[in-house]
Amino acid sequence: MRIIFLLLFVTISQFAFAQQQYPGKWKQLFNGKNLKGWQPKIREHDYKDNFANTFRVKDGKLTVAYDGYDQFDERFGHLFYKKPYSYYLLAVEYRFVGEQCPGGPGWAYKNSGVMIHCQDPATMRKNQDFPISIEVQLLGGDSKGERPTCNLCTPGTAVEMNGKLFTPHCINSKSKTFRNDEWVRAEILVLGDEEIKHIVNGDTVLVYQKPQIGGGNVSDYDPAVKQNGKPLTGGYISLQSESHPVEFRKIEIKDLSKYYRKRKK
């Protein structure tokens, strides 16, 4: 019992520390009732066309589902929040459920993501697969093997790590593996184009700097939008649909922009 109490105390302390060290109040981006404030962009479909009711609210959770699909057919989708942010702490609580959509790629099994510093969804072409953005990759594990979450992927972007430009598409975080239908709290600290931190259940698992446009792994984009070398100081936030059902029970944000301005002064 003492060991259980100690583990519970440590977990609660980690959450409290992660929330207290950044000022301001949480704003709920998801109201638990509907998709107010959010709009989809799914490959091969126009902006705001929620093909097959991919994104929906069920039992108070924002759900990504594929029961309206015969085959996935690379119809990667993203659900965008209505306004961009630059300096903020974003938190999502998510879990993977059910079976992968038929035709989904093997790498997309228990795979989703939170995209930050996204291009304006209105500038995405109809057949564009991913927004130019920074991806906080969410992964789930099986009964065996290790598969960390809150990794970094870079569709049409690049970052710096340890003072050097990072050119591979993805890099794993140092998080543990979360299995079955376990709920996970992922927090993302975004400080413009200065620094970004990925935080899992209170533990910082990945840090990098200077997000910028550049790199590959995004198709059919408008060349006028992909201005390689341009610093990413802000952008839209979106949630992915990549063929495996996923649920979000909470999406909240602390806007840190006014505190950043005070710090800069």
- Establish if 1 belongs to a structural domain: no
pLDDT in tens, 28-75: 999 999 999 999 999 999 999 999 999 999 999 999 999 999 999 999
- Establish if 17 belongs to a structural domain: no
Q: Encoding tokens for residue 77?
A: 């989708």
Give the integer Cα–Cα distance in Å for 164 and 60.
43
DSSP helix/strand/coil, 122:
helix
Look up the CATH number of the domain holding residue 143: 2.60.120.560
- Establish if 31 belongs to a structural domain: yes
- Establish if 8 belongs to a structural domain: no
Instruction: Work out the percent of the chain whose per-residue pLDDT is above 70.
Output: 91
- Establish if 29 belongs to a structural domain: yes
Residue-number span of the structural domain to which 159 is assigned: 25-264
pLDDT in tens, 92-137: 999 999 999 999 999 999 999 999 999 999 999 999 999 999 999 9
Number of domains in the chain: 1
Query: Any idea what DSSP says for residue 201?
Result: T
Task: Please state whether beta strands 170-171 and 151-153 pair in parallel, antiparallel, or not at all (unpaired).
Answer: antiparallel
Burial class (CB in 10 A: 0-12, 13-18, 19+), 106: exposed
- Establish if 165 belongs to a structural domain: yes
- Establish if 15 belongs to a structural domain: no
- Establish if 6 belongs to a structural domain: no
- Would you state the pLDDT for residue 143? 84
